[in-house]
């Protein structure tokens, strides 16, 4: 997945992937993240468009290994998503996955498994909710069943490793 365009072209990738406790005194690249967050409206009306640049960028950050940064951008999109909407549930699942991926990088496999379980619970709650056709919404374009199956497979493993991280964009494209 490539970085989505903004008004001046492409959003840049962060200069480094922030990992709490490992950054040798470096903080996150907030300047780059603020550019992406500035694309998020104060509130989405009705639904979160699947092609919104901040959403696409957040998913792409995850897929490029910027897990902490992905969580930050996706949380900004989540905060602007309609209250009680289906997109908020799916975004929460994606945030849990980015956080779990970060935990795997930090070699905290039990914490990652718990977060994958929370993401799975969100997807099950989403599947139980009544759908309202919105057209180009994030939920309507996302392969929820494929992600659910992948999470079930990951949770079913006796021990997770760094290699078990989930690329969200790969699911969207498959």
Confidence at residue 138, expressed as pLDDT on a 0 to 100 scale = 93
For residue 169, pLDDT over 90 is answered with no
* Digit-coded pLDDT (tens) for 80-99: 999 988 999 999 999 999 99
Residue 159 has pLDDT above 50, yes or no: yes
Q: Give this prediction's pTM.
A: 0.90
Cβ of 69: how many Cβ atoms within 10 Å? 27
pLDDT band, residue 23 (cuts 50/70/90) = low
Query: Where are the alpha helices (H) located in 38-85, listed in sequence order?
Result: 53-63, 67-80
Q: Compute the average pLDDT of residues 63-77.
A: 97
Only one residue has tokens 């699942």, namely 93
Are the beta carbons of 14 and 29 closer than 8 angstroms?
yes
Measured CA to CA, the distance from residue 131 to residue 142 in angstroms comes to 13
Per-residue confidence band for 170, with pLDDT thresholds at 50, 70 and 90: confident
Report the distance separating Cα 35 and Cα 4, nearest Å: 12
Segment among 4-8, 19-23, 60-64, 147-151 with least mean pLDDT: 4-8
Q: Is the pLDDT assigned to residue 157 strictly greater than 50?
A: yes
Q: Per-residue pLDDT for 47 more than 70?
A: yes
Q: Burial code of 134-171, b = ≥16 C-beta within 10 A, e = fewer?
A: beebbbbebebeebbebbeebeeeeebeeebbbbbbeb
pLDDT interval class at 151 (50, 70, 90): very high
**Residue 174: its pLDDT value, please?**
47
């Amino acid at each position: 997945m490539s970085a989505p365009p903004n008004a001046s072209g492409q959003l840049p990738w962060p200069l480094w992937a922030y990992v709490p406790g490992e950054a040798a005194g470096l903080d996150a690249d907030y300047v780059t993240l603020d550019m992406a967050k500035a694309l998020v409206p104060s509130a989405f009306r009705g639904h979160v468009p699947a092609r919104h640049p901040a959403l696409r960028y957040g998913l792409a950050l995850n897929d490029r290994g910027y897990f902490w940064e992905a969580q930050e951008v996706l949380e900004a999109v989540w905060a602007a998503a309609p209250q009680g909407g289906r997109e908020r549930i799916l975004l929460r699942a994606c945030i849990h996955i980015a956080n779990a991926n970060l935990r795997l990088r930090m070699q905290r496999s039990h914490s990652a498994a718990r977060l994958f379980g929370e993401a799975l619970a969100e997807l099950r709650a989403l599947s139980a909710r009544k759908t309202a056709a919105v057209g180009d919404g994030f939920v309507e374009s996302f392969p929820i069943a494929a992600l659910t199956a992948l999470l079930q497979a990951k949770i079913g493993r006796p021990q997770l490793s760094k290699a078990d991280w989930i690329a969200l964009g790969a699911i969207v494209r498959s």
